[in-house]
Amino acid sequence: MRLTFHTDYALRMLLYLGTRPDQTVTISEIADVYGVSKNHLMKVANHLVGGGYVAATRGNGGGLRLAQKPENIVVGEVVRHTENDFDLVGCFEAGGPGCRIETACLLRTSLRKALDAFFRVLDDYTLADLLVTRPLMAELFQLTEPAPGGAASPLGPRRAW
């Protein structure tokens, strides 16, 4: 299973907004930090606004900010909101083509259990949990000055994702 870029960018957008809790941030700023398409991020932002995760303000001085406290944003819910296809195999599809061995096959059951386990783990995490390293993230986003003594981050230099 692989999450789409849409979900990847949605989670990254929420992380970035979480490092700037009292500020309004532009899509251009987020696109520059991550080195991703501004147009694609606009679609992601609209989707997150529609889900109630992000608030948008138009006009001069406008931008994006979290619409909820980070501790109220559940990662599993965000993934469910941004992904549209969890049909891991053809027999997951409602009304999809039948399979000759469907009545005897346990593949669908085992994959369904795996998907359920995946979401149980994600449902245990909120955005606040992912932001426990907020100071380091802010430094990597180059929002703050490096630590005294110029200590390098264990993650290495900032790079485009």
- For residue range 81-96, list pLDDT tens digits in order: 999 876 666 665 655 5
At residue 24, the 3 state secondary structure works out as: coil
At residue 92, the 3 state secondary structure works out as: helix
At residue 138, the 3 state secondary structure works out as: helix
Contacts of 77 (CB under 8 A, 6+ apart): 123
Name the residue with higher pLDDT: 48 or 104.
48
Confidence of residue 75 (pLDDT cuts 50, 70, 90): very high
Is the alpha carbon torsion for 76, 49, 7, 92 positive or negative?
positive
Domain-wise residue ranges, the chain: 5-146
pLDDT confidence of residue 68: 96
Q: 5-146 domain in CATH 1.10.10.10?
A: yes
**Inter-helix orientation angle 75-82/107-123, to 10°:** 130
| Percentage above 90 pLDDT, the chain | 55
pLDDT confidence of residue 160: 40
At residue 63, the 3 state secondary structure works out as: strand
pLDDT confidence of residue 73: 98
